[in-house]
Structure 1
Amino acid sequence: MNYYTKQPQTSAALIQLLLSRGLLIPDHARAIKYLESIGYYRLSGYMYPLQVPGKLHHFVAGISFDDVVSMYKFDKRLRAIVMEYMERIEVALRAKLTNSYSAVHGFFWYADASLFSDKSTAAAILYGIQEDFKLPKDQFLRAFKNNYPGEPLPPSQMALETLSLGELARLYKALTTDPIKLQIASDFRVAASSLETWFVWLTNVRNVCAHHSRLWNRNMSALRPHMPSRKAYKFAVPMPDDANTNMYGVVALMHRLLKSFNPNNTFARQVEALIQLHGVDATLMGFPPAWQTAAVWHHE
């Protein structure tokens, strides 16, 4: 038995529904093309902030279909910026892990169970590397396997290239808190206990982007990151209690990490420019009211 009683509607019927809710649609044919190429359900996620609060879904006076499309394009471009700079953070974490641990424990350190406090997670990641290495897909792994047929595992600089950001985050978290792990955290200007949670949370943000889901005003409350409390690592201005659930927190955390190895990066400036270009109310993203000067990245 199906309890969902709504019936499919044509794009033309959905246009009439939106008109009845007060949305201005000067070009019906253009709007129908958007509905058929993007989908009403996906676009509807960008309509709610443009509607009067309540269950009637009436639009604020003067809101047009172009405003909905603008919100959609804003979110799409925001995801692209986040993904670009998330890649840089991922690459930096990968490099710091392999460089730091290999220098002390050799290229196969990741297979040394004594280096991990969470041995089950380390074993699971090691198993994945082993399985992938049996029939490697990457050319660099196939070449290594041909040159060193007796090696059951690839060295760290190759093995970690096959791990996702989520796996790298889990690997870092699983490590025993030793001087090497602490130094990596210090390099990122975050305490190790906090950095573990940052990478896990940012992996969730990265996955939202990778699946083309709505990002700009999403509540990301699962596996919240710890905001630094130690004087050496505290943010330069007080952070709102909910900063570890919204886009303001994403930008703040990414800015801190990026600045640690690329102090002249333009990530935060690009996000701000995009907000201004599309006229978005940044407070809906968790930004402070006077974010143009009050945002934490203007003070660090």
Structure 2
Amino acid sequence: MVNKLPKTLVDQINLLVERGMLFRNIDNAPHFLKNISYYRLKGYWWEMQSDKVAHNFKPNNHFEDVIDLYNFDRHLRLLMFDAIERIEVALRTKLIYNLSLSYGALFYIDDSLFTDKFKHKATIEHLFVEIARSKEQFIVEHRLYHKDEPFESWKALEVTSLGTLSKLYKNLNHQLPEKSRIALEFGFNSHKDFSSFLEASTVIRNVIAHHSRLWNNNVTTKYLWPKNLKNSPITYVPDENQRAKLFPLLSLTIYTIEIISPGNSIKEKFFNLLDEYPIVPVHKMGFPANWKTQPIWI
């Protein structure tokens, strides 16, 4: 198969016109395509196509609406980043506080506290790589003044990623009371459900970190829907197909944020975002018709 030839901005615009894309002001199109690649925008006009082989567009679809979808998604990613950052910081804090007080400053390297010693070894090796990359002043000073001593947990875990924190938490021995206590402090009655939520949040965090599309994309990990929540964010248990879309996870994220960060404005900002971009079809993110009547959204 011969690779396709690269196209100039003019060629790209002409191809869109040929396929039925409309423009409210075609003179502005080169500016957008010069700064946002054709292939990146393709993910936002994919749903506008009537023929996904010939790539012809349905009637009355405008290039400017594609740009609006792109901008909506960019702001949505920032909003989700804000929410997940709060969860990450709280998880880091609760791990350090609860487990250091019970098992000492070096609990994270004590494999007796973890279920799977091989997974623990791999996680710690990755953690050491993250520490080695860090240029934080407290890490630099530790290397300088305590070079033969291991990093205390409040230093080591402060510079590690959400993915590593999630793996550490998941692998903690199930009988440790601190594991259940941390889950409860996030509003989860089961550490298994909470761990599954952290894994899904890590996937979304990675999507955001790579500036990938969040709108109308799928949640690629099959996370558990938590049981017996104190105040269930939605009135139904979403099935596996429904959990592949953003709405259930976003609802669960807001539920969690309202517990660890009461008075936050995440939900308000999301409503404002929808007001700013009214053309966005929220059902593509798994939002049901009655989503505004669901408990967490009232």
Q: In 1, are the aligned partners of 2:68 and 2:277 still within 8 Å (CA)?
A: yes
Q: In 2, are the aligned partners of 1:217 and 1:246 still within 8 Å (CA)?
A: yes
Q: Which runs of 5+ in 2 are unaligned?
A: none
Report Cα offsets for 1:215-234 as digits up to 9, x if no partner: 1110123x311001236575
Cα 1:273–1:172 change in 2 (3 A) is same
Partner of 1:193: 192
Cα 1:127–1:5 change in 2 (3 A) is closer
TM-score, normalised to structure 2, is 0.91
Q: Does 1:283 align with 2:283?
A: yes
Q: Which runs of 5+ in 1 are unaligned?
A: none
Cα 1:238–1:131 change in 2 (3 A) is closer
Give the SS at the match of 2:102: helix
Partner of 2:70: 72
Taking the TM superposition and a 5 Å limit, the aligned residue runs for 1:244-283 are 244-279=243-278, 280-283=280-283
Q: In 2, are the aligned partners of 1:107 and 1:155 still within 8 Å (CA)?
A: yes
Specify which of 161, 166, 169 is matched with residue 163 of structure 2: 166
Counterpart-to-counterpart distance in 2, 1:134 and 1:39: 35
Partner of 2:293: 293
Counterpart-to-counterpart distance in 1, 2:23 and 2:106: 61
Identity across the alignment (%): 33
Q: How many residues align?
A: 294
Q: Which amino acid in the other structure matches residue 269 of structure 1?
A: E
Taking the TM superposition and a 5 Å limit, the aligned residue runs for 1:115-264 are 115-130=113-128, 137-151=135-149, 153-177=150-174, 178-190=176-188, 191-221=190-220, 223-230=221-228, 232=230, 234-241=232-239, 242-264=241-263
Q: In 2, are the aligned partners of 1:121 and 1:171 still within 8 Å (CA)?
A: no
TM-score, normalised to structure 1, is 0.90
Cα 1:134–1:204 change in 2 (3 A) is closer
Say which is worse superposed, 232-241 or 188-197, in terms of deviation: 232-241
Q: Which amino acid in the other structure matches residue 274 of structure 1?
A: L
Cα 1:115–1:270 change in 2 (3 A) is same
Q: In 1, are the aligned partners of 2:242 and 2:248 still within 8 Å (CA)?
A: yes
Q: In 2, are the aligned partners of 1:166 and 1:200 still within 8 Å (CA)?
A: yes
Give the SS at the match of 1:52: strand
Cα 1:25–1:231 change in 2 (3 A) is closer
Q: Which amino acid in the other structure matches residue 275 of structure 2?
A: Q
